[in-house]
Amino acid sequence: MKISIIGSGYVGLTTALALAHTGSSVILLDVSEDRIVSIREGRAPFYEPGVDGLLSDHIRKGSVRATMDYQEAINGSDLTFLAVGTPMDSDGRMDASYIKAAARSTGEAIARKGVPHIVVVKSTVLPGTTEGVILPILKDTGATMASIAMCPEFLREGSAMEDALHPDRVVIGCLDDTTFTTLKELFEPTDSRVLRCDPTTAEMIKYASNSFLATKISFANEISRICEVTGIDVYDVMEGVGMDSRISPQFLRAGAGFGGSCFPKDVSALIRAASDKGMKTPLMDSVMLNNDIQPVHLVDVMEEKLGVISDKRILILGLAFKPDTDDVRETRSLPVAKELSTRGGVVGGHDPQAGPNFATLMSDMRIFKDLDEAVDWAEVIILMTEWPVYRNYPFGEKGHLLFVFDGRRTIDPKRLGKIGYWAMGSPL
């Protein structure tokens, strides 16, 4: 099929490469000239394992190309995915300005083209957006020949390419049989389970999925704090809990909380949307509260173990919200760094990929490029992201280190020698 994708971020670019891999011809559109130049040169505008190799291959073959011209994108395709960002605004609500602008420009191009065209919302949008916002915009532009659908993404950053190539399910929210058949055929090579529903249900499936996973993480973290004061290791507890086939062990690893581009903004947006309709959300409110508690709790334990934080050189290892990405959106390393600074700590940081991005969030914090230099500088280590390079690092050979605090249960304490060690969820 001939596909155009509006937006070349994690969702847009990985979707483009997955579709090109199964035989489609894809045009990527972005309003950022820097991103378009990068894509044309075969370089992803973000770090994600496996993307650069596939991108350079498909750019060379011509199966993926990039443009800033909406008319070129629409004229060269029969189906368009809207994959622009829907970030969280200052009030925690979904910011729909980008997808509204993309829908309008897409609709205007379809109207000028004057032939039937399918528009598929891939962005994460609140229930009712596809039919209540995007479809009216398309009609207002004169694109009355456009049919619409909602097909949410379920990508994990760090594993986005694998998830795009081999999704565990494809949800198609549409209003007519022709659109459903077209999309089902498009994703047929993935051999995934397909669920057909209406667009509003598809939108809610995405929010419900992310909210449930965030809830599992916050539940594990609250149990971990109880385990700490009762002398129990939460990882032993969650191993037993996860053996229950009704629960599964995934997302039960206690740590410093969840971050990234999805969970925080999606849970917050759903809370705000419910509040706007007069509904209370006590469970999801507590999920967000728990996530805010966990980084401060980690610093509280550090202060208790060290006696004093003031003037100690504290190195945060891992600045991205998870390994295998350079994404620092809602990373739990940021509230930890701010809390340490507030209490007088001298804070530095290192990350294999995310250092430059984190520097834009906390410009007064020293960011090390070299791991050895960073560890030699530090008195105290706090591990926040489980990059493999940290798991295998010889901390035990660094006699000057006082303590290692493991926020992700990554380091083997047996390799630390006489260095103090504490992991979140272990007895205090």
Active site residues: 262
347 neighbors 340 (Cβ within 8 angstroms): yes
Nearest residue to 161 via CA among 20, 280, 41: 20
| Torsion sign (Cα): 410, 223, 283, 244 | positive
Instruction: Compute CA 390 distance to the chain's CA centroid, rounded to the nearest angstrom.
Output: 22
> What dihedral angle (degrees, nearest 10) is formed by the CA atoms of 362, 366, 369, 372?
-140
- Give Rg (Cα) of the chain: 23
CA atoms lying within 13 Å on the CB side of residue 427? 4
Copy the structure tokens of residue 306: 């060290």
Nearest residue to 356 via CA among 46, 90, 30: 46
How far is residue 72 from each of residues 65, 109, 116, 254, measured CA to CA in Å? 11, 9, 16, 48
